[in-house]
Amino acid sequence: MKYDVCIIGAGPAGYAAAIRALDLNKSVLLIEKEKIGGAGLYNGAISSKTFWELSKDIQTARKRLAQYSPDQHFSVTYQQVLTQVRGGIANRRFHLEGQIESLVQQEARLFRFLKGTAKIVGQHAVEVITGTEREVIEVENIVIATGSSPRKIPNIPIDEKIIVTSDGVENFENFPKSLVILGAGVIGCEWATIFSNFGYTSVNIIDKAERILSFEDDDVTDVVEANMKKQGITVHKKSNLLSMRIVDGEVEYIIEYTDGRKEMHRVEKVLVSVGRIPNTKNLGLEDVGITILPNGNIDNIDGQTNVPNIYVAGDISSDVALVNVAELEGRHVIEKMFGVSSHPITYNNVSTIMFVQPEVAGVGMNEKRALKDKISYKVVKIRYDMIPRAIAMRNNDGFFKILVTNDNEMKILGMRAVGVHASSAIQAVALLISMDKGVEELADMIHPHPSIIEGIQECIRMLLGTSVLKPQFFKGMLTCKSCDENGCTNDIVYLR
């Protein structure tokens, strides 16, 4: 049988592509080497975010006990946490694997799933090795969705037990007494937050940059960094790792700062978090002439490679390593392949969440990007101190910030939300960005009260000059400014 499409990889991108192709009544061959769901399930989003939710709950429980029952003690073991994490993974695995099993039984005419190693051996042929058996299968189209793996650094002895990547965190037997994280990107900062929340681990971070999360606006990183300091996390800024070795079951490392100072530290565990690399090895890409970029990604235009019937989706296609993006790309390449959609995929309204303290969510452009692109904009900001729900929660650490074009249309360019419920607050703004709309639609909505998202409405009303609370009377709490590459004006005053 010749299949309409062969999909290599059953992670978020490949899984979504397979199901979308079946929607279109196409015959599908889905191949997975290891685990259905990929890193997004086992060592990525579901795993780490379950860790984060549990750590946040435990931190809150300790605070409440200290506040109301200071004589009581709350404790948890790492194995207890792992049981909950693995339970969450199992729930999601049941959904994904269960559907595959049902499709194999009920849609055998259109769907075939193979557990094995795939290699492209021709423009329309894929070799699959399952155990000792080898099979070459004819296919009309191919989607490569093999994902990515944690980047490793030469001369660092990663054993996934003492020195680990994100793949090895579950191998810890107990909470480490001390942990150093190499890299202050999103993943590194999230794990620093998780382990400090649990309260058993002294956490250090090594970072070359002057600021953590250096791609984000300074006011965002200021809040996150202040909370890290409050939780006892030490960030070795502007430092380079000179050496790292395992000594007597622990790790000694030497760092050098940009001013020439050197320090040696000893910790129980190390987490290396310096990005991810695409999984392109042993796929036969070179044999069929597919172009691989210097960064390891597969060259493509809107998901289509230089070999017209071969497509890519997910981490292997771009630098945006997010589950929601991978699923979107998987669906999109199928629709493009079979002529359902002629519109290129758009990334200007991709929503992101950083599970740090406090939570950070974003969509669209931030101020750094606007200034870099020399875009004139208005920016409006409201601190959580001014939002009734945050006041009621006794958790007012954070803010909303919205960027719009500096004209009468005031089209939304981007938004950042920092604080409790941040991730639940950005979707309406993401929709308006994708629709290329202005702010009036949000101003007219009636939000539930009290809710965190009322802060977004107040931001919009400030831009329109109809806010109940005026920026000039709440300096530092409410701001509304015009900005360009030369800087920002004083607060815009609407009430004369």
Q: What CATH number does residue 14 fall under?
A: 3.50.50.60
pLDDT (0 to 100) of residue 320: 74
Instruction: Give the Å distances, CA to CA, from 270 to 149, 244, 426, 486.
Output: 18, 10, 34, 43
Do residues 352 and 444 lie in contact, with contact meaning Cβ atoms separated by under 8 Å? Answer: no
pLDDT (0 to 100) of residue 40: 83
Exposed, middle or buried: residue 71 (CB in 10 Å: 0-12, 13-18, 19+)? exposed
CATH classification of the domain holding 411:
3.30.390.30
Q: Are 34 and 144 found together in one domain?
A: yes
pLDDT (0 to 100) of residue 487: 80
pLDDT (0 to 100) of residue 494: 53
| Domain-embedded: residue 63 | no
pLDDT (0 to 100) of residue 452: 86
Q: Tell which residue, 181, 18, 189, has the closest CA to residue 96.
A: 18
Q: Are 31 and 111 found together in one domain?
A: yes
Tell me the C-alpha distance between 297 and 187, whole Å: 20
Its pTM stands at 0.92
Q: Are 126 and 227 found together in one domain?
A: no
Q: Are 137 and 261 found together in one domain?
A: no
| Domain-embedded: residue 55 | no
pLDDT (0 to 100) of residue 495: 43
- Helices assigned H by DSSP within 239-293: none
User: Which amino acid does the sequence have at 153?
Assistant: I
Q: Tell which residue, 171, 339, 178, has the closest CA to residue 251.
A: 178
Radius of gyration of the chain (CA): 25
Q: Are 260 and 369 found together in one domain?
A: no
Phi-psi region of 442 (alpha: psi -120 to 50; beta: other; left: phi over 0): alpha
How big is the chain, counted in residues?
Answer: 496
Q: Are 383 and 450 found together in one domain?
A: yes
pLDDT (0 to 100) of residue 335: 97
Do residues 141 and 24 lie in contact, with contact meaning Cβ atoms separated by under 8 Å? Answer: no
Q: List the pLDDT tens digit at each of the 496 positions of the chain.
A: 899 999 999 999 999 999 999 999 999 999 999 999 988 888 878 899 999 999 999 999 988 888 888 888 888 999 999 999 999 999 999 999 999 999 999 988 999 999 999 999 999 999 999 988 999 999 999 999 999 999 999 999 999 999 999 999 999 999 999 999 999 999 999 999 999 999 999 999 999 999 999 999 999 999 999 999 999 999 999 999 999 999 999 999 999 999 999 999 999 999 999 999 999 999 999 999 999 998 889 999 999 999 999 999 999 987 677 888 999 999 999 999 999 988 898 888 888 999 999 999 999 999 999 999 999 999 999 999 999 999 998 888 999 999 999 998 898 999 999 999 888 888 888 888 888 877 777 777 777 788 888 888 888 888 888 888 888 888 889 988 898 878 888 766 554 3
Number of domains in the chain: 3
| Domain-embedded: residue 104 | yes
Q: What range defines the domain where residue 38 resides? A: 3-43+83-150+277-337
DSSP 224-245: HHHHHHHTT-EEETTEEEEEEE
Domain closes at, from 231, 249, 274:
274
Tell me the C-alpha distance between 275 and 145, whole Å: 18
Q: How many CB atoms lie within 10 A of CB 405?
A: 17
The two tokens of residue 301 are: 């235009």
pLDDT (0 to 100) of residue 493: 55
Tell me the C-alpha distance between 102 and 376, whole Å: 54
DSSP 127: E
| Domain-embedded: residue 352 | no
Q: Are 171 and 228 found together in one domain?
A: yes
Do residues 290 and 270 lie in contact, with contact meaning Cβ atoms separated by under 8 Å? Answer: no
| Domain-embedded: residue 345 | no
Q: Tell which residue, 232, 250, 194, 249, has the closest CA to residue 78.
A: 194
Instruction: Give the Å distances, CA to CA, from 168 to 152, 194, 246, 247, 271.
Output: 13, 15, 16, 19, 9
Instruction: Give the Å distances, CA to CA, from 219 to 127, 159, 202, 335.
Output: 52, 37, 26, 40
| Domain-embedded: residue 59 | no
pLDDT (0 to 100) of residue 231: 94
Q: Are 328 and 413 found together in one domain?
A: no
Q: Are 299 and 191 found together in one domain?
A: no
Residue labelled with tokens 């997910």: 314
| Domain-embedded: residue 7 | yes
Cβ contacts of 448-454, under 8 Å, gap ≥ 24 = 449/388, 450/387, 450/388, 450/389, 450/392, 451/389, 452/384, 452/387, 452/389, 452/390, 452/419, 452/420, 452/421, 452/422, 452/424, 452/425, 453/421, 453/424, 453/425, 453/428, 454/387, 454/388, 454/389
pLDDT (0 to 100) of residue 486: 81
Q: Are 450 and 467 found together in one domain?
A: yes
| Domain-embedded: residue 73 | no
Q: Are 144 and 227 found together in one domain?
A: no
pLDDT (0 to 100) of residue 496: 36
Q: Are 287 and 370 found together in one domain?
A: no
